[in-house]
Structure 1
Amino acid sequence: MDGFPEEVRVKGVVEEIYVTDRGSAPMRRVPEVETVAGCGIRGDRYCEGTGYWTAYGDVCEITLISAEDLDHIEEELGIGVRNGEHRRNLVVRGLDLSALRRRRFRVGEAVLEYDRPRPPCRHVQDLSEPGMTRALKGRGGICARVVQAGKIRAGDSVEPLD
């Protein structure tokens, strides 16, 4: 009917939100964030221009990762990803993020647009533990752009728009 696979028609939910104000600094869990159109999350490293990859032009306004993938990484591989070690902003449960490709979607008050997959990099492993890059391969999440600014809170729904 709406062109989305079944798993995308079901709403996802934001379980956790992580930010940091500068590249390589530890991520910290927060209950809500304010997004800025064309920039990302107010106060986060890439919106502030202080992210590790900013100098390389590889900037994602907002990153999302699947909670189900994090469950697998921790349970099956024994790699710690529960305290933001994955370096992604939003942990989302109940939604196949790759199915949002070429789509806009609402997260809380904000409207985001799929940008590209976010494969893991060696820098993530340098900041966490051996094996992190391999553990995130195929499970690194996605990058999104902020189309319409608004607040995003833990517990907010994530749903594709037509």
Structure 2
Amino acid sequence: MTDGDASGEVRSIVTAPEAGAAPELHETAEILPEGVEGDRYRRGEGTFRLDGCAVTLVAAEALDAVRDETGTDVADGRHRRNVVVEGFGPGLDDLLQATVAVGDARLRPTRRRPPCAHLEALAGAEGLASALQNRGGLCCDVVEPGRVAVGDPVGVAEPDPRTAGVAIADRLREESAAGGNRPGSHGE
């Protein structure tokens, strides 16, 4: 992980063995190239398999906010996201397109995973989809498979290209503003 970046930890790991099946909580899981071992989407069997994600992340803070706002506690996995991460606030958008270290695995969040009416029906929690709006988690590609356990660290291993480009541009502007009189610069 890079120093200074937001970091957190894995709060829970969730799979559902087949479409519509009750979610199962795990202390550890293997993230394979196609997804989480034992999860329906890894086998291409999820309800939304044509728009499925290899791995889904959701913020623990978002689930806590849903509980506080609605009284519905989905810590039992009824949110139907694979990895609950804590320490990033209720939204995870800052992780989009970054490479994220989750335990031994490396994931790349590619897009938001909005909640749907089907999730609400499976969870048996009226209003859950609305409560999760704009905080339903992220779809991730698997960059590097690995083992993940509850309590494992989570952090940005490589920033997204946009953020990295801005950091480089900022550093070049700072160097230019300093007059370029450092050893090794063209101002010698």
- Under a length normalisation based on structure 2, what TM-score does the superposition of the two structures give? 0.78
> How many angstroms apart in 2 are the aligned matches of 1:76 and 1:132?
10
> How many angstroms apart in 2 are the aligned matches of 1:149 and 1:82?
25
- Paired residues in the alignment total 154
- Equivalent residue number for residue 137 of structure 2: 141
Identify which of structures 1 and 2 has the higher relative contact order when contacts are C-alpha pairs closer than 8 Å and 6+ apart.
Answer: 1
| Identity in percent | 37
1:68 aligned onto 2:61: yes
1:40 aligned onto 2:39: no
8 Å CA contact 1:79, 1:131 repeated in 2: no
Summarize deviations over 1:7-31 as a string: whole Å, max 9, x none. xx13110000111110111101000
> How many angstroms apart in 2 are the aligned matches of 1:78 and 1:90?
22
> How many angstroms apart in 1 are the aligned matches of 2:97 and 2:144?
16
1:153 aligned onto 2:112: no
1:17 aligned onto 2:13: yes
Structure 1: unaligned runs, 5 residues or longer? none
> How many angstroms apart in 2 are the aligned matches of 1:102 and 1:20?
26
Structure 2: unaligned runs, 5 residues or longer? 159-188
1:83 aligned onto 2:79: no
> How many angstroms apart in 2 are the aligned matches of 1:92 and 1:104?
15
* Runs of 4+ with >6 A deviation: none
- Equivalent residue number for residue 105 of structure 1: 100
> How many angstroms apart in 2 are the aligned matches of 1:22 and 1:14?
23
> How many angstroms apart in 2 are the aligned matches of 1:102 and 1:48?
24
Name the aligned partner's letter for residue 49 of structure 1.
Answer: G
> How many angstroms apart in 2 are the aligned matches of 1:110 and 1:117?
20
8 Å CA contact 1:79, 1:135 repeated in 2: no
Summarize deviations over 1:21-68 as a string: whole Å, max 9, x none. 10111101000111112x0111110001111111xx111111111111
Aligned alpha-carbon RMSD (Å): 1.5
- Under a length normalisation based on structure 1, what TM-score does the superposition of the two structures give? 0.90
